[in-house]
Amino acid sequence: MKLSIRKDALNEAISHVSKAISSRTAIPILSGIKLDAASTGLTLTASDTDISIQSFISLSKGEQTLITLDKEGSVVLPAKFFVEIVKKLPSEYVELEVFDQFRTLIRSGSAEIELVGLDPEEYPILPRLEEDKMFTINGQVLKAMIRQTVFSVSNNESTPILTGVLWNLNEGRLKFVATDRHRLASTEADIDTAADLKLEHLVIAGKTLNELSKIVADDVMVDIVATDNQILFKMDAIMLYSRILDGTYPDTSKIISQSYKTELVVQTDRLTDAIDRAYLLSREEKTNIVKLVTIDSGTIEISSSSSELGKVTEQLEVKRLDGDDLKISFNSKYMLDALKVIDSDHIHIGFTGMMSPIIIRPEEDQSMLHLILPYRTTT
């Protein structure tokens, strides 16, 4: 392999694939980035076995030459050092040349770096996925759906299936659900796909979706190919492969009540700020417990207390308050997480009693829902 490449193009590709590099890997070759130079361009690959990312740099972009290729070939270079040194090379161009035993020379301006490369034949081959289950989604929509759900996945590795987001595609409607057993987030959107394409029980790790979010640009279309155990996200020059989580996702449809005993509509930012202040105090107690009490037909009170520090109390006017009087306690951190991803001016909160799930939705949008289990408290 021998080529000269624009440093900025190489850096951009590195920044994409490096999201799949794990600092602790049991498989030595995976601590490297694989470079494949072919007649069409240079492909970079990185993988931590759960996620694999490929980024392709073509020989030219419009009028601009990105790569001058002298000799095709492949090599695996030590990822951590390669990522850092390329950023700091002095010239706009980088020469890469592979010698015997994958010894690789990097030249840029006056700097000359000799790297101990590894055999690309030892690098795992990425799966070839059958493209019969494929659909396309707008990058901005995909990122919004991830943002609205992924924070609710479980961090507890003892129930691996809950560390993922459940995807469901039926009659052109894509739905995401995430829950850690204390809260749940769900969102859905219409997408442009063949009406008979149906996906069920597809659970994708929250970690994969977080990395995907960082890579997807707003203005691209993402092709998604699903098989039984792998999913592939294809964007312009980037491909992200991830395995699908094993196991059965719990049926959450029954815990979401359709009728409420108490309903309230309130300005999102004012509620967020009031709960944030109460949260600050409850956090000192390490409970995060905040209380919501109805005062009269137009007012609620948000409060928290700490035996050592004191208490925070705040009354809020609501736009609408219907149904029974209510006194309820909940984890304010969970409530803030949900409120933060709701962009609507007003939110609707539905209660079916002190011990039943709290349902939070944007006021005029049924496609998104957040659920929080209340706390059992004595006061």
Residues making contact with a copy of itself (CB under 8 A): 78, 80-81, 84-85, 88-90, 103-104, 110-116, 273-274, 276-277, 280-281, 284, 308-316
Residue with smaller CB distance to a copy of itself, 113 or 126: 113
Tokens in use for 236?
A: 């312009």
Residue with structure tokens 């770096």? 113
By beta-carbon proximity to a copy of itself, the closer residue of 81 and 214 is: 81
Q: DSSP letter string over 325-343? A: --EEEEEHHHHHHHHHT--
Q: Nearest-CA neighbor of 268 among 138, 199, 368, 118?
A: 368
Cβ at position 298, least distance to a copy of itself in Å = 13
Report the C-alpha gap between 183 and 373 in whole angstroms.
Answer: 6
DSSP, res 246: P
Please say which residue, 81 or 122, places its beta carbon nearer to a copy of itself.
81
- What token pair was written down for 317? 């006017």
Minimum gap (Å) between residue 161 Cβ and a copy of itself: 37
302's tokens: 């948000």
142 closest CA partner among 244, 234, 44, 20? 234
What is the nearest approach in angstroms of a copy of itself to the Cβ of residue 271? 12
Find the distance separating the first CA and the last CA of the chain, reported in whole Å: 72
Q: In the complex with a copy of itself, which residue's Cβ is closer, 84 or 119?
A: 84
Q: Whole-number minimum distance, CB 80 to a copy of itself, in Å?
A: 8
CB-nearer residue toward a copy of itself: 80 or 198 = 80
Instruction: Using the CB atoms, write b or e for 266-283: b if 16+ within 10 Å.
Output: bbbeebbebbbbbbebbe
Q: What is the dihedral of CA 214, 226, 10, 140, to 10 degrees?
A: -40
Q: Which residues pair with 213 in a beta bridge?
A: none
Q: Cβ of residue 113: shortest distance to a copy of itself, in angstroms?
A: 5
Residue nearer to a copy of itself on the CB measure, 203 or 321: 321
Residue 141: half-sphere exposure toward Cβ, Cα within 13 Å: 18
CA distances from residue 27 to 33, 78, 104, 157, 303 in whole angstroms, order as listed? 13, 13, 21, 21, 52
Nearest-angstrom CA–CA distance, 68 and 84: 23
Residue 367 tokens read as 């496609």
Based on CB atoms, which residue is closest to a copy of itself, 50 or 97? 97
Q: What's the min distance (Å) between Cβ of 86 and a copy of itself?
A: 10
Tell me if residue 293 falls in helix, strand or coil.
Answer: strand
How far apart CA 338 and CA 156 sit, in angstroms, is: 20
- Identity of the residue, 103 or 320, whose beta carbon is nearer to a copy of itself in the bound complex: 103
Least distance between a copy of itself and beta carbon 304 (Å)? 10
Return the number of the residue (29 or 220) whose C-beta is nearest a copy of itself: 29
How deeply is 114 buried, as exposed, middle or buried, from its count of CB atoms within 10 A (0-12, 13-18, 19+)?
Answer: exposed
Least distance to a copy of itself from the beta carbon of 141, Å? 33
- Distance of closest approach, residue 279 Cβ to a copy of itself, in angstroms: 10
Closest by CA position to 187, among listed 363, 362, 352, 373: 362
Pick 103 or 327: Cβ nearer a copy of itself: 103
Q: How far is the CB of 283 from a copy of itself (least distance, A)?
A: 9
